[in-house]
Amino acid sequence: MRAAPGTVAFWGNFGTLNLGNECTLAAAIANVHAQLPQARLLCVCCEPQDAAARHRIAAVAMSTPADAPGGGVRLLRMARRLRRELRDWRAALRVAANFDALLVTGTGILTDTGEGALGLPYQLFKWCLCTRLRGGRVLFVSVGAEAIRQPLTRFLLKRALRLAAYRSYRDGHSVARLRASGIATAGDAVVPDLAFSLPPQAVPAPRAAPAPVAVGLFNYRGRGQGGAADAAAYRGYVEMITALIAALLTQGHAVRVIIGDLAYDAAVLEDVRTRLAARGLVAGRGALEDAPAMSWEQLLTQLEGVDFVIASRFHNVLLALLLGKPVVSLSYEAKNDALMQQMGLGRFCQTLDTADLQRLLLQFRELQQDATALRATLAQRAAANRAQLQQQYEAIAALLSAR
């Protein structure tokens, strides 16, 4: 075995303007540094310039950019791809020689949604294998699993996970996803999402009624770009969110509109602004605010300024729960429901595909009525999650320090 680690690398989809991913990485960096203060820290990610600037650690790209789509004979394009992949494997082996451990750092990384098997699943397998070939350890730390559709994805994830010296998943939902895909999880731990290990925040006392509310936006159905059905569903989503905001304002609540992904949700915010303006509602005039957070720290500040949250993005929901804010979740994936159930708010969920405004308003009313008891439950469970994560960090530090 190696001696105490000189360099620990964090691997994941970071630097891509998803604030939930960034707060997960920030939590991991802070806690690993606290456990291993002498270790050098490195991030292997999709956009290293952004990640390095946000987190103030060295960062390298997990791959070179793909060729722009265009002309050329297919055989020539394949040859270019093969040449690029060979360069990437050599680069990964060279980088992996310089660190002692690769930590696959939280997030819902075990999926082929979006990029397919040859996107992040392939990159994950490559970096895990290169790390092992160079004598380093691989650890999967509170990772999440979502849809796994392609046989090649299952193959790549299964092999990557087998290369690990340690594996934990952020919820039982992820474990069930993996088992359904034929991936063994026996003996692996279930440890909460890493964002629960962010430094404790001072939470202001609840305001007098009517309390301020955050309403989170989401790039639902790819903002309707996938065809007529998606376009119709997205229009319905924008109308529902607009009507929700209008109803909250009518009831006297101040409303803070939030987003959680600058790359995908900013355009949704513009669409909602347009529909609100048609109702005569403009942010900055009265009780409506919608300036987007540019960092996870700013998002946390926005959430601190409200007493209730209605949101879809997983980490918008999680950060609100971490701060003791009762939440109604409008989920796009079952991970939200698993989180809400774990935190004692399982009855305050809807899915976006079947969301109903009147039911949502009734859930929000019940949320207000039960707020005192819910806040006590949230504080207790967030503290338990933090303690469980602390034990995990200590176990990881002991593993990496073993001779």
- Return the CATH number at 144: 3.40.50
d(CA 136, CA 400) in angstroms, rounded, equals 10
**Is residue 375 in some structural domain?**
no
Taking 3-state DSSP, the helix, strand and coil percentages for the chain, each rounded to the nearest 5, stand at 50, 15, 35
**Is residue 152 in some structural domain?**
yes
Backbone phi and psi for residue 337, each to the nearest 5 degrees, phi listed first:
-65, -40
Write the CA distances from 159 to 82, 125, 155, 162, integer angstroms.
21, 7, 6, 5
Based on the fold, state whether residues 292 and 315 are members of the same structural domain: yes
pTM above 0.85, yes or no: yes
**Is residue 97 in some structural domain?**
yes
CA 180 to chain centroid, in Å, comes to 22
Based on the fold, state whether residues 140 and 219 are members of the same structural domain: no
d(CA 170, CA 348) in angstroms, rounded, equals 21
Based on the fold, state whether residues 47 and 119 are members of the same structural domain: yes
Per the structure, the complete domain to which residue 30 belongs is given by: 7-199+384-401
**Is residue 269 in some structural domain?**
yes
Its sign, for the CA torsion 54, 301, 313, 147, is positive
Q: What is the DSSP letter of 220?
A: T
d(CA 7, CA 97) in angstroms, rounded, equals 10
For residue 210, whether the previous peptide bond is cis, meaning omega lies within 30 degrees of 0, is: yes
Q: What is the pLDDT of residue 68?
A: 54
Q: What is the pLDDT of residue 1?
A: 39
Which residues on neighbouring strands pair with residue 215, listed in sequence order?
Answer: 257, 310
What is the total count of domains within the chain? Answer: 2
**Is residue 263 in some structural domain?**
yes
Based on the fold, state whether residues 393 and 305 are members of the same structural domain: no
Quickly list DSSP for 238-257.
Answer: HHHHHHHHHHHHHTT--EEE
Q: What is the pLDDT of residue 330?
A: 98
Q: What is the pLDDT of residue 72?
A: 56
Q: What is the DSSP letter of 182?
A: T
Amino acid at position 328, single letter: V
d(CA 2, CA 100) in angstroms, rounded, equals 8
Q: What is the pLDDT of residue 142?
A: 98
Q: Which residues of the chain have pLDDT under 50?
A: 1-3
Based on the fold, state whether residues 141 and 253 are members of the same structural domain: no
**Is residue 121 in some structural domain?**
yes
Burial of 389: CB neighbours in 10 Å, binned 0-12, 13-18, 19+: buried
Strands 101-105 and 7-12: parallel
d(CA 39, CA 60) in angstroms, rounded, equals 17
Based on the fold, state whether residues 394 and 268 are members of the same structural domain: no
Based on the fold, state whether residues 122 and 46 are members of the same structural domain: yes
Q: What is the pLDDT of residue 4?
A: 60
Q: What is the pLDDT of residue 403?
A: 56
**Is residue 390 in some structural domain?**
yes
Based on the fold, state whether residues 232 and 362 are members of the same structural domain: yes
d(CA 281, CA 39) in angstroms, rounded, equals 52
Q: What is the pLDDT of residue 73?
A: 64
Q: How many CB atoms lie within 10 A of CB 307?
A: 24
Write the CA distances from 108 to 129, 169, 305, integer angstroms.
20, 10, 28
Q: What is the pLDDT of residue 247?
A: 98
Q: Is 400 helix (H, G, I), strand (E, B) or coil?
A: helix
d(CA 29, CA 105) in angstroms, rounded, equals 10
Instruction: State the Cα angle at 92 between 91 and 97, rounded to 5°.
Output: 100
Strands 288-289 and 327-331: unpaired
Based on the fold, state whether residues 360 and 388 are members of the same structural domain: no
Q: What is the pLDDT of residue 301?
A: 96
Based on the fold, state whether residues 180 and 280 are members of the same structural domain: no
Based on the fold, state whether residues 16 and 129 are members of the same structural domain: yes
CATH number of the domain enclosing 334 = 3.40.50.2000
Q: What is the pLDDT of residue 269?
A: 98
Based on the fold, state whether residues 315 and 389 are members of the same structural domain: no
Q: How many CB atoms lie within 10 A of CB 282?
A: 12
**Is residue 374 in some structural domain?**
no
Contacts of residues 377-381 at CB distance under 8 Å and 24 or more positions apart, as own/partner, are 377/343, 377/344, 378/321, 378/324, 378/325, 378/326, 378/343, 378/344, 378/345, 379/324, 381/342, 381/343, 381/344
